[in-house]
Structure 1
Amino acid sequence: MVDLFDNGTPEAEQGNAPRPLADRLRPQTLAEVIGQRQVIGPDAPLTVMLEAGSLGSIIFWGPPGTGKTTIARLLAHETNLHFVQISAIFSGVADLKKVFETARQRRRTGQGTLLFVDEIHRFNKAQQDGFLPHMEDGTILLVGATTENPSFELNAALLSRAQVLVLERLSFEDLERLAQRGEEALGRPLPLEPAAREALLGMADGDGRAFLNLFEQVAAWKVKAPLTPEELAKRLMRRAAKYDKNGDEHYNLISALHKSVRGSDPDAALYWFARMLEGGEDPRFLARRITRMAIEDIGMADPQAQTICLDAWQVYERLGSPEGELALSQALIYLALAPKSNAGYAAYKQARAAARKTGSAMPPKHILNAPTRLMEEQGYGKGYDYDHNAEDGFSGQNYFPDGMKRPDFYQPVERGFERDLRKRLEYFEKLRIKRAEGRED
């Protein structure tokens, strides 16, 4: 589907319908764009490319309403390229061929084409490969937009030919500037008390287009006095927070939750936990991940942590939502404030690596059972020292394969219960050395 702007006439100007505020406030130059200074500010990538006259293909990665389409259109204007927009949702191979052929003909007349592809990650790998020859021969300058992680959704060949620029959600300050620009266009302020105005900014969740839609609704109300936050909430349904349970946001937020616990910050942990619940995350998924945190980041520094997580999980299964979620939140608080150690987790990973490296090495014969005479004749079980009969209940024998250097996988930290475990390890190591010296004598 080719954008209606491709013919130079905005859609709103083709009929009698009033133009939406978002369209009326669309920036005319890059300097008028609100936010995204990391991309279009002084010494930012796009600014440098434009000043050097070397604009290349780009992938804009960011959430909705952050200016991807607007910036792409302004780039075409700044570089005198013909702007063509298609959506990967509504376009197929036939549409792409038509766009490429038209761009090729246009190039013969001396004008290049900036092809803006919205939701470019929706194209399959073969369709993405179809852009490559036209990018390389200069038929098009590709500007793609995606809300998904390009590393996972776009071909490596396409990524190698385009620079990925990350666009961020608009800040409160950015949205306030947008509100002021809207008030100037309307010639009147929004009928909101300061606290209600701040609430309106929060409802947009960093989405500029959504904010202007909300702004336009509020501006149309006929009220006698500025509205309070409570009155605003009654009149305007709060937008649901953006959260894709199967996409980047899912992984970003669980990462933030996990690292908040690891960083011993219960308040941050509760915040990300609440964000995921508000987004509709399955509490059972959270219960499983919380239990994993106890194993991975607390471990033997506080063995009780794992039990508390399992108990909270069971409480949730019995009570359901919302009561059971309180049990999970309390488990999170416990984990965040518990002593931390990944010694057990690290030891396990080292042991797995050693197991892969040593392959099928047999255990030493002295610790093997000998249920048959043949095995006994082969030396199975010969020389085994029964630890309960040894002094201190410790024989100090070798339990690794013959010829394998004894590793030290488990290195407990000086925190929590692992302090006691470190003392035990040191105690047994001294006994092991003592027994080895005795055997040598």
Structure 2
Amino acid sequence: MSDLFSAAGLEDDAPRPLADRLRPKKLSDVVGQGHLIGPDGPIGAMLRNGRLVSMILWGPPGVGKTTIARLLAQETDLEFEALSAIFSGVKDLRAAFEKAEARRRVGKGTLLFVDEIHRFNRSQQDGFLPFVESGTVTLVGATTENPSFELNGALLSRCQVMVLRRLEDDDLRELMARAERAMGRRLPAMPDAREALIRMADGDGRYLLNLVEQAYAMRGEPGLLSLEEIATGLQKRAAAYDKDREEHYNLISALHKSVRGSDPDAALYWFARMLEGGEDPLFIARRLIRMASEDIGLADPTALMICGEAARSYERLGSPEGELMLAHAVIHLATAPKSNAAYVAYKAARRAASETGSLMPPKHILNAPTSMMKDQGYGSGYVYDHDTEEGVSGQNYFPDAMGRQQYYTPKGAGRERPIADWLKEIAALRKSRLDE
């Protein structure tokens, strides 16, 4: 009988979802996580050495976190105590620790499984520390969120983080085959409809088994479900995306790197993934404007204008019409010549400004609106650049105590090529003037 159904007071023969009936009975039955539970994996090595340490199981939904925790308790002869951070509070934690201490006094260990552990606040997470350190409990926490963002450093330092993988298509096919054996008959679906179920599950084994169960219910009589019937009758799993958590940052990073790498197809894919996940298009628009300066810069000055206009167009049109303008900007950025010279120059100038404090400009480039300022030498010796033959005076514009610096070095791509040539001419002219 499963822990969940036992807790609910249900008998073995009570109706249970297919996903629960197919829960693995031993670790080797868990699919898709061989890198952790296999003989060469870290969990496999712990079991082989007879020493289980506290850990955080981090991975997407439906890949076996709860199952692995339950089976770890079974294979190490620990009492399995389960809590959910969604439904549990301080009172529940205290009760769990008291039971664990009582078991320890009679020589029995406890594996405390905490689902959605990231939902406990910082002080609640700190409450685990003495019990983990003393060995009163072996903590196994499960989370879909990046532990480095969501869990206390103190708790993380006492746990190993195990990263569970999204299930591959072959893993999902194995689960489908197990479902067929449990049901005693083949899934009533055409081959293309079967593959559609795999795609709809999107790496989530639990969701796949729910879809399979629904497919059996849809077609109890002879005959096979078509692709159209599957698409109409069942719901695709929502893509993993949370606009204020890790997936949000992962996908915008993927978009940015694809643009920087001049891959318009990958850039469009990640752009579309963000839209499908419900991302605010104006957030994407703001990031595109940043990319236009950071990664394209003066190699293609029109990139910044196009991104700004795409953002304004979206504000006028909204979704879905305005999304095309953002896609236009994505393609332009990805295919534009690249230069981070302006970005590098800006950062270098900011560092220099921070380090040099309050150095005054050289007096010859200061205005002298009063006679006293003229007497102080303000404006003395300034050469009006437009009056020179070359249009450039070659004078020094840095503080006298600082010396000449170079922050901006054009890459020579796109529109920066003539800029680079022009700056070389100016540097030569400046040198000749200094030598005079």
TM-score (norm 2): 0.96
TM superposition shift of 1:131 = 0.6
Q: Give the corresponding residue for 1:129.
A: 126
Matched, 1:311 2:309: yes
Q: Give the corresponding residue for 1:147.
A: 144
TM superposition shift of 1:419 = 1.3
Residues 64, 147 of structure 1: 8 Å contact kept = yes
Residues 58, 163 of structure 1: 8 Å contact kept = yes
User: Residues 13-412 of structure 1 correspond to what in structure 2 (within 5 A)?
Assistant: 13-14=10-11, 17-222=14-219, 223-412=221-410
Q: Which amino acid aligns with 2:157?
A: S
Q: Per-residue CA shift, 1:277-331, capped at 9, x if unaligned?
A: 1111111111111121111111111111111112222222222211111111121
SS in 1 for 2:390: helix
Please give the alpha-carbon distance, in whole angstroms, between the structure 2 residues aligned to 1:330 and 1:412: 26
Residues 66, 207 of structure 1: 8 Å contact kept = yes
Please give the alpha-carbon distance, in whole angstroms, between the structure 1 residues aligned to 2:128 and 2:400: 59
Q: Per-residue CA shift, 1:126-146, capped at 9, x if unaligned?
A: 111111111111100111111
Please give the alpha-carbon distance, in whole angstroms, between the structure 2 residues aligned to 1:28 and 1:157: 34
Please give the alpha-carbon distance, in whole angstroms, between the structure 1 residues aligned to 2:16 and 2:201: 21
Residues 6, 84 of structure 1: 8 Å contact kept = no
Please give the alpha-carbon distance, in whole angstroms, between the structure 2 residues aligned to 1:278 and 1:118: 27
* Structure 2 gap ranges (5+): none
Residues 81, 113 of structure 1: 8 Å contact kept = yes
TM superposition shift of 1:44 = 1.4
Residues 114, 141 of structure 1: 8 Å contact kept = yes
Q: Which amino acid aligns with 1:316?
A: Y
TM superposition shift of 1:123 = 1.1
Residues 41, 47 of structure 1: 8 Å contact kept = yes
TM superposition shift of 1:7 = 9.9
TM superposition shift of 1:53 = 2.2
Residues 59, 165 of structure 2: 8 Å contact kept = yes
Point out the more displaced range, 249-258 or 228-237: 228-237
Please give the alpha-carbon distance, in whole angstroms, between the structure 2 residues aligned to 1:360 and 1:54: 62
Residues 2, 20 of structure 2: 8 Å contact kept = no
TM superposition shift of 1:228 = 2.2
Q: Per-residue CA shift, 1:248-285, capped at 9, x if unaligned?
A: 11111111111111111111111111111111111111
Post-superposition, which runs of at least 4 consecutive aligned residues in structure 1 deviate over 4 A? 4-8, 10-13
Q: Per-residue CA shift, 1:184-239, capped at 9, x if unaligned?
A: 11111111111111111111111111111111100122254322221211111333
SS in 2 for 1:164: strand
TM-score (norm 1): 0.95
Please give the alpha-carbon distance, in whole angstroms, between the structure 2 residues aligned to 1:7 and 1:168: 24
SS in 1 for 2:112: strand
Q: Per-residue CA shift, 1:322-347, capped at 9, x if unaligned?
A: 11111111211111111111111111
SS in 2 for 1:323: coil
TM superposition shift of 1:15 = 6.9
Q: Which amino acid aligns with 1:298?
A: I
SS in 2 for 1:151: helix
Residues 411, 422 of structure 1: 8 Å contact kept = yes
% identical aligned pairs = 64
SS in 2 for 1:143: strand
TM superposition shift of 1:55 = 1.7
Please give the alpha-carbon distance, in whole angstroms, between the structure 2 residues aligned to 1:405 and 1:171: 60
Are residues 65 and 38 of structure 1, via their aligned partners in 2, closer, same or farther at CA, if it must alter by over 3 Å? same
SS in 1 for 2:250: helix
